[in-house]
Structure 1
Amino acid sequence: MLVQPRRTWIREVFTYRGTVLPTVWRRLLVVGGLSLALTIGHLETHSFVLRDITPLPFTLTGFAISVFLGFRTTTAYTRFWEGRTLWGGLVNTCRNFTRQVLTWVAAPPGSAPDPANDAALRQLQRRIVHHVIAFSHALRQRLRDDERPDEYSELVDPALLPALQHEPNRPQAILAHVAGLLRGAYDQGLLHPQHVPVLEASLAAMTDAQGGCERIGSTPLPYVYRVLVHQIVGIYCFSLPFGLIHTLQWFAPAVTVLVAYAFFGLDAIGEELDNPFEIDANDLPLAALTRGIELDLRARLGETDLPPPARPHRGLLL
C-alpha cells in the first residue's frame, strides 16, 4: 500500500507514483497519436470525410460505459474492503486468543506453587502464542503465493518445521498443531473444560478469516465480464476521435486523451483492486499487518527483543 503524507491539491494533481498512469500511458499514447493523425488528415489534407459523424453517439454510449465502469470499480473496491475487514478481524482474534491463553491455560486451582511447573506453564503459553504468530505469517505467504516456512521457523516447534515443507495448507497445519497443544494442556489439567469452547471458537474464527481471504484470492471477477469491460472501453476510446474532429478540430486530440484517461483509468483501478492481497502499490499491506500481530502478541508475552515495526520503503508499505 502506498503511504503518502498529506500534500497540497496541486501536488496531488501532478503526482505520478501510485496512480494508474504507469499502467495506461501506452494506451493513451496510441489513442492520442491516432487522434492527432486523424485530425491532421481531416483538417489539412481533407483525405478523411468525417463531417457526417457527430458526437451524439459517443455521448450516449459514454454515459452507459461510465455507469458500467462505476459498477466495475465498486465491485473491485468491495473485494478490497472485504479483504481489509477480514484481516482486521484476524488481528483482533489473535489478540483475543492470546489473552485467553494467558488467562485460562493455568495451573489447577489449589495446586501448590512450584517454580518448575510455573516455568513449564509459561513456556507452553509462549509456544501456543508463537504458533499463532506463525499462522499469520503463513497465511500472508499463502495469499501472495510466496510460501517460505523458514521465515517463521523460530516461532514453530522444531519437530513441526520439516512437516510444514510438505503441507499443502501450512496455515491450517499450524492451527492444527495449536489445537494439539491445547489438547495437551487439557489432558494435563491446565485447561478447564468450560474454557475449551472459547479457545476453539477463536481458532475457528482464524480458519474462517483464512477461508474468506482464499475465497477473494481464488475467485476473481468472471473472465467474460473482465474481457467485456476491456473491449467496450478500448472500442470507445479508439473510435472517439472520429466523433470529435469535426466539432473540436485541433482540440480533438487533447479531449480524446483526457476522456480516454478517465475510462482507461477506471478500468485499471478495477483491475488492480480485484485481488487486494498482491504487492501492487494500492494493495493491502499484509506484511505490515502480520508484523503488527507479531509485535502485539509477543509484547503480551513480556518479550522485549522485538522486531522493529513495519515502515514504508520509499512510501510503499508491503
Structure 2
Amino acid sequence: MIVYESNKNFLRDITHLTRSWTMQRVLRAALGVGAVTAMITVAFEEIWPMEINVPSSIFSLLGIVLSILLVFRTNTAYDRWWEGRKQWGALVNNSRNLAVSVQATLPPEEVKGRFEIAVLISNFSIVLKEHLRKGAQVEELIFVSKEEIEKYKQRTHVPSYIASQIHQKMQEYYRNGTITGTDIRNMKPHLQALLDIAGACERIKKTPIPFSYSVYIKLLILGYSLMLPFGLIRDFGYFTIPLVTFIFFTFIGIEMMAAEIEDPFGLDCNDLPTGDIAHTIRNNVFEILEVTHVHQPEREEKLYQKVF
C-alpha cells in the first residue's frame, strides 16, 4: 500500500505516479493507442486526404454510457477494498479483546499458557495474510517447531486449524478448573469472530467481478478510443493525437485502478497492508498478555511501497 499524507505535497505526489505498476501499464496502453491514433491521423491528413463526416455527438453519447459503467465499476471495486479493510480492522479488535480476556482470566502463574495463546493469536493473523494471497506460508509462523510445521503443511485450511487450537486450549483450562463457564462464554464471540473474518475475506477473494463484465468494459473503452479519431480529425487535425491519448488514459486508468483494488489482499501498490496489520496484532497481543517475544526478522520481500 502506498502511504502518503493527503493535501500536503500535491506536486510531489504526482511525481510518484509512475512508480505504481498499474500506472505503468496505463501509460504503456495510452502510448499504444496514441501511436495508432497518430497513424490514422497522418493517413487521413497526408496520404489519403478526405472529408470525414462522422458526427461528434455520437461519441458524446457513447462517452456518457461508458462513464456510467466506469462509475459502477469503480464503486464496486472500492466497496470490496473497504470491506476488506473493515474485516482486518475487526480482526485487530477481536484479537486484542481475546488477549485482554485471557489476560484477565488466567491466573498470574500461567505464564506459559499466556505465551502459547499469544503465539496462536499472532500466527492466525500471520498465516491469514498469505492464505488470502497464494496459500498459507507456514514457514512465517513464529515459535513453532519443525514437527508443528509439518502438521500445518498437512492442513488445507491452516487458519481454521489454528483457531481450533485456540478453542482446544481454552477448553482444557475449563476442564481442569482454571477458568469458568462464564469465562468461556465471554471469550466465545471473539473466538468465533476469527473464522467469521477469515470467511468474509475469502468471500471477497474468491468472488471477483464477473469476467464477461470486466472484458466488456475493456473492449468498449478500446473500441471507443479507436473510433474517436474519426470524429475529431475534421475539427482538430493533428491535435486529435494528444486528445485521444488523454481520453483513453482517463478511461483505461479508471478501469485498471478498479481492477487493482478489486482484490485488496495482494501485493499491488494500493492493496491493503495486511503484513503490517498482522505484525501489529502480534506486537499488541504479546504486550497485552505481558509476555516477551524475540523479534524474528521478517522476509526481505518488499510487500508494498511506501511514499512519504
Is this a same-fold pair by TM over 0.5? yes
Structure 2 match to 1:2: 2
Matches within 5 A, 1:156-171: 156=144, 160-171=148-159
2:99 maps to what in 1?
Answer: 98
Q: 1:135 & 1:225 partners in 2: Cα distance? A: 35
Which residue of structure 1 lines up, in the alignment, with residue 113 of structure 2?
124
Q: 1:108-162 deviations in whole A, cap 9, x for unaligned? A: xxxxxxxxxx54x2211221121011111111110011422121141x4776433
Amino acid at match of 2:121: V
Q: Aligned partners of 2:196, 2:202: CA distance in 1, in Å? A: 10
**CA distance in structure 2 between the aligned counterparts of 1:23 and 1:11, rounded to whole angstroms:** 21
**1:114 counterpart residue number:** none
Letter in 2 for 1:86: Q
- Corresponding residue number in structure 2 for 1:228: 216
Candidates 21, 25, 30, aligned match of 1:28: 30
Aligned to 1:115: none
Structure 2: which amino acid aligns with 1:285? P
Q: Which runs of 5+ in 1 are unaligned?
A: 107-117
CA-based RMSD: 2.3
Is the aligned partner of 1:64 residue 2:53? no
Q: Tell me the TM-score normalised to structure 2 length.
A: 0.91
TM-score by length of 1: 0.88
Residues 1:302 and 1:24: Cα distance change in structure 2 (over 3 Å): same
| Alpha-carbon distance, 1:292 to partner | 0.5
Q: CA–CA distance in 2 between the matches of 1:138 and 1:194? A: 30
**Letter in structure 2 aligned against 1:101:** V
Contact 1:295–1:309, Cα closer than 8 Å, also in 2: no
1:18 aligns with 2:14: no
8 Å CA contact retained: 1:80, 1:273: yes
Q: 1:77-110 CA distances to partner (integer Å, 9 max, x unpaired)?
A: 000000000000000000000000111233xxxx
Q: How far apart are 1:194 and its partner, in Å?
A: 1.1
Aligned-residue sequence identity (percent) comes to 27
Mapped partners of 1:287, 1:87: distance in 2: 11
How many pairs are equivalent?
A: 303
2:126 to 120, 130, 137: 137
1:268 equivalent to 2:292? Answer no
Shift in alpha-carbon separation, 1:238–1:131, aligned structure 2, 3 A: same
In 1, the alpha carbon distance for the partners of 2:63 and 2:51 equals: 20
**Contact 1:38–1:48, Cα closer than 8 Å, also in 2:** no
- Cα distance, 1:29 vs. partner? 1.7
Q: What's the secondary structure of 1:16's corresponding residue?
A: helix
Structure 1 residue aligned with 2:235, among 231, 240, 247? 247
Relative distance call for 1:17 and 1:33 in structure 2 (3 A) is same
Shift of 1:241: 1.1
Superposition deviation, residue 305 in structure 1: 4.6
Displacement after TM superposition at 1:55 (Å):
1.5
